[in-house]
Amino acid sequence: MTDHSESIGIIANPVSGRDIRRVAARGGVSSAEDKRNRIARAVIGAVAAGAKHVVAMKEPFGIASGALADLPVDADLEILDIGARVDPRDTERAALAMRERGIRVVITLGGDGTNRTIARAWPQAVLVPMSTGTNNVFPSHVEPTVAGAAAGLVATNLVDLHLVAPQSKVIHLTLSDGSQDIALIDAATLANDFVGNRLPVDATNLRQLLVTTARPDTIGVSSIAGLHTICRADEDSAILVTCGSGGAPTNAPIAPGLYREVPVKGVQKVNLEEEVELFGPSTLAFDGDREHQISSDTPAIAVVRRDGPRVIDVSRALEAGASQGVFINR
């Protein structure tokens, strides 16, 4: 088997940034052409930092194949056919295939949900997540050229992975039937909702909100916590928000271009490994996606741990590379 230990993978969710939430709110649309352009820039950056092999997921829209076609770089560019069907399993299949090949760093194009799918399939992945989704707290709005360069520096061992790519926090959920699931940014219980609903959250339906990251400059339900307190990605804690009638009205940007008043009854810090009960009857939403129901009989149990994918800090990686003169030809 070919050694892919210094290779870079690219997983682009072709439907990210294009769902019904663009109609219900005012989120930007990420077109296939925009994604192709981002991938091309990221690959150019990666090769400039030393990458010699890039593997990108094939899908029916031809995003990756269009991006890599005739790209003038000195590297082996490969399109990986995982039998994409334009469903959420495509991302999972691509992640598993890249893990099997031993690919060292994966650049992702998507939102919190896309990266959650990868984290669920491949918890040990090393990621450079670029925003193209609806909820974009986990990925960053980084310029693809330098994001690719950061990925290249790590993939080729020119900078120390452990210094530039900390592990992410993950919310681990255990449901009443014993099944388990994860969230990267937020887990919310919603009254009067249903599994599969893609519309923005009705603020009056929020009951509990557990977040790994709380900042006032984000979009989505995690911003509710961030308007009351700060919990950064590098802090070993989480925040639990309790909502409902009688709470302090908090005007929060729960979707792009959509502020709503959320009644917040309480905000508390939660330590890593501390169990939190999430009560029903309610719908449980992970990183914006409603996927489970909680009955009134048995609560779901949530625990936050720092055992998720490593996320490359682009600025830190490039500073480390520059300090070693990686980009200076002598």
pLDDT digits (tens, 9 = 90+) for 254-279: 988 899 999 999 999 999 999 999 99
228-250 pLDDT, tens per residue? 999 999 999 999 999 999 999 99
Task: Tell which CATH architecture fits domain 8-168+310-323.
Answer: 3-Layer(aba) Sandwich (3.40)
Residue ranges of the alpha helices (H) in the chain?
21-24, 32-48, 63-68, 89-101, 112-121, 144-155, 161-164, 222-226, 314-323
For residue 31, pLDDT over 90 is answered with no
Domain with CATH 3.40.50 in the chain: 8-168+310-323
For residue 1, pLDDT over 50 is answered with no
The CATH number of the domain covering residues in 170-305: 2.60.200.30
Q: What is the pLDDT of residue 134?
A: 66
Task: Name residue, tokens 């990666």.
Answer: 46
Domain with CATH 2.60.200.30 in the chain: 170-305
**How far is CA 51 from each of CA 97, 149, 318, rounded to the nearest angstrom?**
19, 9, 14
Which range, of 2-16, 20-34, 57-71, averages the lowest pLDDT? Answer: 20-34
The 3-state DSSP class for residue 158 equals coil
Which range, of 9-18, 125-134, 300-309, averages the lowest pLDDT? Answer: 9-18
